[in-house]
Structures are given as C-alpha cells and as structure tokens.
Amino acid sequence: MKKLAILGATGSIGASTVSVCRSNPGLYEITLLVASTSVDKMFALCQEFTPRYVAMSCNRATLQLRELLKNANLPSQVLDNEQELLQLLAGEEVDAVMAAIVGAAGLKTTLAAVDAGKEIFLANKEALVMSGALFINAVKKSGAKLWPVDSEHNAIYQALSPRLQNTIGACDLPGEGVSKILLTGSGGPFLEKPLAEFSSITPAQAIKHPNWSMGNKISIDSATMMNKGLEYIEARWLFNADKAQLQVVIHPQSVIHSMVQYKDGSVIAQMGNPDMRIPIAYVMGGEQRIESGGGFFDFFSTANFSFAEPDFTRYPCLKLAIDACFEGQQSTTILNAANEVAVAAFLQKKIKFTQIGQLVERVLNCAGGASIESIEHLLEIDALARLNAGEIIKRDYLC
C-alpha cells in the first residue's frame, strides 16, 4: 500500500480524496493528515483512518486535537510545528501527497514534497501560480511525479499522448501535434447577470456555484473567473504552453472539463459529471482506472452543450491573469497574493465584488514583472503585495 499524506484534509478536496480512499480500500494507507482549524472534522478523520501523524497549522487547534485524541485513546501523533511537518513530508512515512491546502499557505509543504521527489497530486493551483518556474524546476530536479488534480488540467492530461504526460512541465506540444489547449469554464453564477448589478453582489450569492461544490475561496474565484485565470497560468506551467496555445472557452454546463486540439483538426475532450472525485480517482489510480463514486454522466438528460468566448468586461480578473501570465514571475506572484487578500476582504464584506478586480489591478500596477530567483525572494514579493493590497483597502475601499 502506498503511504498517503492529505494536505488540506478537512476541505472540499480533502473530503473528496477521503471518499476515493473509502471506495478503494487497500490502495493507500493514510499516514498524515494536515489542516488548519477544523478540529472536529480532523478528529472524525482520525477516528476513521487512525493516521500515524496529524498536523494543524493553528496552535489552539493543535492543543484541542491532542486532548481529544488522548481522551479517545487514539494513537495518532499531533505534530508540534511546521519544521516537523516538512521533515515528515520528505521522509519515508510518505509516498504520495494530495496537495489541497487553499492558497499560498500550501506552497511550503507542497514544495517540501516536490523537493523530496514524492508523487504529487496537485490541487493547490495557487502554489504553482505564485512560484511558476521555481516550482517546475524543483519538479525536474527531484524527479517528483506531478499529477494535475484540477479538473481542467486533469482533462487536458488525459487527452495528451503518454510522451507528453511523461514530460509534464517540459512538454513539447507542437512536437506531438498539439495546436491548442482549450480550457473550459462555466462562467460561474453571474454569466447572465446584468453588469449594472455586479457591485451589489453579496458573498452568499457569489459562493453559490451553479455546477460545482467547492471551498469558499475557489467559489469566489469562479464567480470572478480569476479561477480560470489562475488555471490559465497553471496550464502554462504544467504543459509548457505559450500564449498562442492557450484559449479559454465558456461552457456553462461543465460537462466537458477541457479539450486538446491537434494540428489535423481533431479535438479530444474529457467529459464527466462535475465531481472532483473523478479527477482525484484518476490520479490516485495512477496507471489504472479505479472507482471514484462520481457516477456516470447521463447524456439523455442534458439539453445542450454551449460554448462562448469570455467577455472581459464581465470578467476583468480573467484578463488581468492572462496578461500577467507572460509578463514575468513577479506579476503572477503579485496577482495571486492580491487576489487572496481581495477575496478574503470580500468574504468579510469589507469590499464590493467589483472591487476584487480593481484591487488586484492596482496592486499589480505598483510593481514590475521582473523574474524571481529564489523562494525567499518570492515570499518577500508575496508579502509586499499583501501589504499593498491591505493598505489600499483601508485607505480607499472599506465598505
């Protein structure tokens, strides 16, 4: 049995991962679970899976969980600090890692597993977006096996030849006859909403995605389509794609999860229910298809498939991300950091929905697009962008 660590175990992707484990007993032994504050959910996971190790990033949660485990006589050991966690991820207790912490908070742990050459199931797109070439170079250096979990990138991966699948991060797309990657997105809950009503959109409205059930941050990113922008950058790095090889296509039904167009005019699409257990089962199965629990898509109960080009006046965040993608590493690091601050502020009702894109644009305008040579430099740029975003909110935006 392969030893699995789930980073972000109590979240939406964490729950889907655990569900795939339940559907396939005997495939993985869960040795490490990591989360932030959700003590009750983590305790329930410990009761069910008795992982050898658990880590909570919040100190209070660490103490509470330790107490609960002790009272229940459960053997899972709660780690003391991040250093212990990073060591464990690099050691023999872990073969494969589901990287599903949300946001930049997942970068260090994911990179620790990459550096140690583990098998990486990558859901945490922000880690790749913020570190780009540094991340891909670390994968190349260690020989880590990188599997895309994000449904679009998983779909693209499935539509590529084995040669391209085996050179993730350094794909020669034209060499294998690929002309374009078609990245599909539903357009989120506001595809038809009059633009004049955008400034009064509430967090509760924005979180309600029409097709997917996901964590709060990615749900807001889907409503602004920053999510598709982050995925555009993610695709650039995973598949070594240039601007002419990437196109965003609105497909409101979320049945086609993305497509690859070849030079002979063939288009290969991956389809299925909008259920993350399907791409998760694909990566966890490795060479073999396994049960996902995601069900089978019913072609006879679906009215139509439709497609449209994205309208950037409706989705300014998507345009910002596409522009930042080829400007240099600083731009995508700043874009990601400013967006995280903006989304958190919107969820706390400190700024309006329309101010998310405005804020990201203003923070991007504060800096150039120079390259970033080290993780330390990257974290400095990230921190500065967050500071700038926080100051702009305080000064100009507070609702």
**Does residue 105 interact with ligand NAD by CB under 6 A?**
yes
d(CA 95, CA 101): 18
Query: Can you tell me the distance from the alpha carbon of 125 to that of 393, in angstroms, rounded to the nearest whole number?
Result: 25
Least distance CB 163 / ligand NAD (angstroms): 26
Q: Choose one: 211-219, 339-347, 354-362, 365-373; the region binding ligand NAD (CB under 6 A).
A: 211-219
Q: Which helix (H) or strand (E) holds 341?
A: helix 329-347
Asked whether position 101 contacts ligand NAD by CB under 6 A, the answer is yes
38 touches ligand NAD by CB under 6 A: yes
Closest CB to ligand NAD among residues 125, 314 = 125
Task: Yes or no: say if 340 and 185 are a contact pair by the CB < 8 Å rule.
Answer: no
Q: Does 124 bind ligand NAD (CB under 6 A)?
A: yes
Task: Looking at residues 216 to 255 of the shown chain, list those that interact with ligand NAD (rule: CB under 6 A).
Answer: 216-218
Single-letter amino acid, residue 25:
P
214 binds ligand NAD (CB under 6 A): yes
**Residue number, nearest CB to ligand NAD:** 11
CB of 322 vs Mg ion, minimal distance in Å = 16
Hey, what are 104's tokens?
Answer: 């930049």
Residue of 23, 24, 36, 211 that binds ligand NAD (CB under 6 A): 36
- Binding of residue 188 to ligand NAD (CB under 6 A): no
Amino acid occupying residue 378: L
Which of 8, 187, 272, 357 contacts ligand NAD by CB under 6 A? 8
Per the listing, tokens 């924005």 go with 206
Q: Of 102, 147, 153, 149, whose CA–CA distance to 126 is shortest?
A: 102
The verdict on 185 binding ligand NAD (CB under 6 A) reads no
Query: Is 276 one of the binding residues for ligand NAD (CB under 6 A)?
Result: yes
Q: Does 123 bind ligand NAD (CB under 6 A)?
A: yes
Under 8 Å CB-to-CB from 342, ≥6 apart: which residues?
A: 351, 355, 356, 359, 360, 389
Using CA atoms, how far apart are residues 28 and 286, in angstroms rounded to an integer? 12
| φ, ψ at 63 (rounded to 5°) | -65, -45
**Angle between helices 316-325 and 216-224 in degrees, nearest 10:** 90
Residue among 3 and 125 whose Cβ is closer to Mg ion:
125
Q: Mapping DSSP to helix (H, G, I), strand (E, B) and coil, where does residue 28 land?
A: strand
Site for ligand NAD in 48-87 (CB under 6 A): 57
Q: Which stretch binds ligand NAD (CB under 6 A): 69-77, 120-128, 177-185, 281-289?
A: 120-128
Q: Compute the residue count for the chain.
A: 399
Candidates 35-43, 185-193, 198-206, 388-396; binding stretch for ligand NAD (CB under 6 A): 35-43
Give residues in contact with Mg ion (CB under 5 A): 150-152
Judged by beta carbon distances under 5 to 8 A according to partner kind, the member of ligand NAD, Mg ion, none in contact with residue 12 is ligand NAD
Nearer to Mg ion, 228 or 314 (CB): 228
133-152 residues near ligand NAD, rule: CB under 6 A: 150
Q: Which residue blocks in 149-306 are alpha helix, DSSP H?
A: 151-158, 162-165, 203-207, 216-224, 226-238, 277-285
Decide whether 100 or 283 has the Cβ nearer to ligand NAD.
100
Q: Can you tell me whether residue 142 is helix, strand or coil?
A: helix
Q: Which does 283 bind (CB under 5 to 8 A by kind): Mg ion, ligand NAD, none?
A: none
Nearer to Mg ion, 126 or 152 (CB): 152
Using CA atoms, how far apart are residues 359 and 343, in angstroms rounded to an integer? 10
Report d(CA 352, CA 342) in Å as an integer: 9
38 or 330: CB nearest ligand NAD: 38
Give the CA angle between residues 275, 279, 283 to the nearest 5°. 150
DSSP H or E segment with residue 321: helix 316-325
17 binds ligand NAD (CB under 6 A): no
> Which residue ranges make up the site for ligand NAD (CB under 6 A)?
8-14, 34-36, 38, 57, 100-102, 105, 123-126, 150, 212, 214-218, 276
